[in-house]
Amino acid sequence: MKLLARDCSPFTPQPTAAEAAWLRRLVTHVHAAELVVPISGERDEEEPIAYCAWDGTWWAGRYVGSLSFEGHSLTIEPRFGLATLRNWLFEATAVVLTDSPGRLQENESFIAQLLAFVWVRGFVDAARHGLPALRRDVAITGPMVRGRLDVPASLRLIATGGGQVVSVRSERSLNHSASAAIIAAYEVLRRWLGVPDEQWMPARAKELISNLSSITGPRPQVPTKAQLDRIRYTPITAGFAPIAELSRQIANRRGLAADTNGSGETTGVLLDVAELWEMYVLSIMRKAAAPLAVTHGSREKTATKKLIHSDVTGQGLGTLIPDAILHEGGKIRGVADAKYKSLHPSASAPNGPQRDDLYQMTAYLGRFTAPERKNSWGVLVYPHDPARPSTSQAEQLSPWSLDGSRKIVFITLPHVASDAVIKLRDLISRMTRSDTTGTHRLYLGESSFT
């Protein structure tokens, strides 16, 4: 069987009894972390690949990609379309996805393109200091010892009357398993995408690949995972370890097409769309918030990341890392968090925002902003849904007053970066000059607004 779905959406049509039974086995035995390729290197807690809601409706999770399990396949496409992901990717990374030719199956083309983006970005980042020249033992035959003497090999050579010895010297070389995996993956992606002049690759990547291919040859043998695991990287070349493993998977065509040969092996590659949305929002926030300074929550050094601390030992509990922290004059003015969810009412959230998100933002404000400081605020940022163009009540009535000095704002951002910057800049401008009047009271109990 082959199932097709869209991320964060109900299956259409809903799975049959046999398909539902397979999905239950899938979510029980396969964890997203085993298949997800990280884009930024920093990911939130795991969510299931698919799940059955309280009313029996099957939904796809926040991932896109293709996987196989027990000889059957599941492909999850982006619900906002590939063009939207292109916009997010370009805004967050300045790398552009190109249009692919029609020879790929429709439900596989976006997987190949997204994999190509992640691969080429990871390769260029890993090669910031150059290609992965690693030390390897090279055998040298001659009349003199150069390095350490290989006694067994030398004795065998002398026994044949060669009159020479074999020595082993450690040399830096690009000819190793990691390089072979990278070139093998490049050849697979190049054939699958079929884009003239390798337009999907930046100039730096083309230069690096050309140099590396001249060492390994254009069609090196794909290394095994065990061979890659034996490589000893230096601190400078350590960044090639994940890209070499991803290259091995791509070279073996994992994730480019669902393997339904019935082998029973779980294969596939998934991308976390929520992670990409967070990267997009952070980039937009940095452009829109000026003159406020914006830092990622994990890089904020002046405030503690723990919600509570022990009076006895000082040990902290409850890690708090918002996606963005906004500073003014060295003091924290507000926090922002990206939510790859719908802001419109649903069965699980009748008023739009989910209760857990409200509690989370309240905790952020309590930890990162001072109660006595006026006009400190938190922003929950959601993607605009073209299928539901109306503005939700939560956004219409923003800001919501949490107490006398702190507020929470809900906003949906367009998928075109320039439009998103304008909308967010207008909101931040209003929040930085607003007073405590004209706001609505926010109640967390029962997850309701009154």
Q: Return the structure tokens found at 444.
A: 């967390």
CA 291 – CA 327 distance, rounded (Å): 9
According to the model, what pLDDT value does residue 320 have? Answer: 76
Q: So where are the chain's domains?
A: 2-129+177-272, 134-173, 289-447
Instruction: State the pLDDT at residue 99.
Output: 45
Bond preceding residue 383 cis, omega within 30 of 0 = no
Tens of pLDDT, residues 206-224: 998 998 998 888 889 899 9
Cα(240)–Cα(133) distance, integer angstroms? 11
Question: CB within 8 A of 351, min separation 6: which ones?
Answer: 345, 393, 394, 447, 448, 449
Q: Measure Cα distances from 230 to 53, 160, 225, 371 in Å.
A: 44, 34, 9, 54
Extract the tokens encoding 157.
């050579």
Pick the closest to residue 68 from 10, 26, 20 (CA basis): 26
- Spans of the chain, pLDDT less than 50: 97-107, 258-262, 435-437, 444-450
Tokens of 129: 């200091």
The reported pLDDT for the residue numbered 312 is: 86
Concatenate the DSSP letters of all residues of 394-420 into one string: HHHT--EESSSSEEEEEEEE-SSHHHH
* pLDDT of amino acid 104: 37
Residue type, position 77, single letter: E
CA–CA gap between residue 313 and residue 306 (Å, rounded): 14
Q: Residue 261's pLDDT is what?
A: 47
Q: Which secondary-structure segment (H or E) carries 73?
A: strand 72-77
- Residue 202: strand pairing partners: none
**pLDDT for 298:** 58
Query: Among candidates 356, 363, 352, which has minimal Cα distance to 411?
Result: 352
Sheet of strand 324-328, all strands in order from the earlier edge strand to the far edge: 293-295, 324-328, 331-338, 376-383, 406-413, 400-401, 440-441
Hey, how many other C-beta atoms are within 10 angstroms of the C-beta on 145? Answer: 15
